[in-house]
Every structure is written in C-alpha cells, then in structure tokens.
Amino acid sequence: MTTKRAAIFDIDGTLVDTNHLHVVTWWEAFRQAGRHVPMRDIHRAVGLSGGDLLDHLLGDGDGDDRDSDEDEQLTAAHHALYATYFDRLPALDAAGDLLRALAGQGWTIVLATSASGAELSALRHAIDADDVIHGATSADDVADGKPAPDPVQQARKLAGVPSERAVFVGDTVWDMKAAARDGVLSVAVLSGGIPRADLETAGARAVYRDPADLLAHLDSSAFTESAFTEQE
C-alpha cells in the first residue's frame, strides 16, 4: 500500500481571491450580449467549467437543450475581460505558506482547476509556490469539469495516490460534490463567498475561513488524521 499522500487544491476562491472578478466579468459578458443574469446567480455558478456555467445560468431548468450559438462569444468576452486582471490577481493570505507547510510534511501538492493556458499561468504566478507544486490538472485534461469527479480523479492520478490517500480543498459546492464523487475527503474554505451550511451539505468534512485559518489549525485538521499519516 502506498504511503504517498496528496493535497489537492482548487485555485479560484481557494488560493487566489478571484471569484468576484469572475462574477463581474461574466456579468459584463452577458450584458454585452444583451443578457440579464443577476450577479448572485453567477456567483453560485463560479467553479463550473465555462460550458457548464452557461448551461446552468442560461438553461431553462427542464433538461431541454438550449441554443448554444452565442456560447463562443460569451466565453471569449469573459476571457478577454478577466485577462485584464492577469498581472494583478491577488493570492489569498498565506496561500503559498499553506502549500509549503504541507509539502514540508510530505504531502504531494496538486492543483485541480477549470482554468487553463494563460489564465492558469497567471494564477500560479499569483500563488508563487511553484517550488512545491507537483503539477496541475486543467480543463484541458478532463472530459467533464466539476461537479463531475474527473478533475479530482485526474489530480490524484497525477500524484499517484488512491482516493483514500488524498484530501481536497475547495471553496464551492461544485468542489465538494466532485471530491465526494471521487471518494476523497474534502475540506472547504469560506474565501469564495459560499455559506458554510451549503459547503457542509455538499460534503465538506471541515470548513475554515481561508488558507491562513487552515494553516493556523493544520495540526488539528484533516491533514493529520490517522488515515493520512505515514505508515511505518
């Protein structure tokens, strides 16, 4: 049995304070296309892949296919608007310190995100912890994004561990559902703006304010439970 352990992290809202930037830039993309979508609804959809987010926000809710002709335009507009922030994306307090602390305890650090390309590069630059990040899985690496288990599963494969040897940290309901579907223990942070009760209902084992709070309580967190300790 492997003694390796993987700490898998979502990025947006978990390590980098970007969820509300996504809300505003998606809102503006919709506005430019003549669509009125309330910001509160966009906020709840952040964390889904682009196509799933559009299905969630623009679908009629009865399972029927919707007209997706404008999806490419909407996605391109969001990306262009969001890209204006690439050089100043703000890492959450202690995000890099948290990753380094876990790496120092023997955890393999992997990122699991729907971001890719230049966006992922900008996020990793903001975190500034590439020295301890083993790798990252992006939207380009999976068939289905969260809440499907594919991103978490792919991150585990990259780390080379089974589900019982991994902990996933995220900030959205979609993160918690993806981890649960892959059988991975999940920890949530409130830095993405989703209520504690919603995260717990979706499967969060524990909830912390932000990366700094998790780091401060690391010695009593899920990362020290006997199921994840090194075997003799």
Query: What is the pLDDT, as a whole number, of residue 231?
Result: 40
Residue that finishes a domain, picked among 51, 84, 117: 84
Distance of CA 33 to the CA centre of its chain: 27
Mean pLDDT for all residues in the chain: 92
Task: Tell me the average pLDDT across 223-227.
Answer: 68
With pLDDT > 90 as the criterion, what percentage of the chain qualifies?
83
**Are 106 and 199 contained in the same domain?**
yes
Shared-domain flag, residues 10 and 28: no
C-alpha–C-alpha distance, residues 120 and 139, integer Å = 10
Domain boundary pick from 58, 84, 110: 84
Q: What is the DSSP annotation of 31-81?
A: HHTT----HHHHHHHBTB-HHHHHHHHHS-SSS-----TTHHHHHHHHHHH
Tell me, yes or no, whether 160 and 134 share the same domain: yes
End of a domain among 51, 68, 84? Answer: 84
For residue 156, give its domain range. 5-17+90-228
Question: Does residue 138 share a domain with residue 52?
Answer: no
Whether the full predicted model's pTM is greater than 0.85, yes or no, is: yes
Tens of pLDDT, residues 181-207: 999 999 999 999 999 999 999 999 999
pLDDT tens across 31-44, in order?
999 999 999 999 99
- Among 170, 40, 68, smallest CA distance to 113 is for 170
Statement to judge: residues 72 and 105 lie in one domain: no
Report whether 186 contacts 163 (CB < 8 A): no
Tokens of 145: 């994004």
**Tally of structural domains, the chain:** 2
Each residue's pLDDT tens digit, 89-144: 999 999 999 999 999 999 999 999 988 899 999 999 999 999 999 999 987 888 88
pLDDT value of residue 51: 86
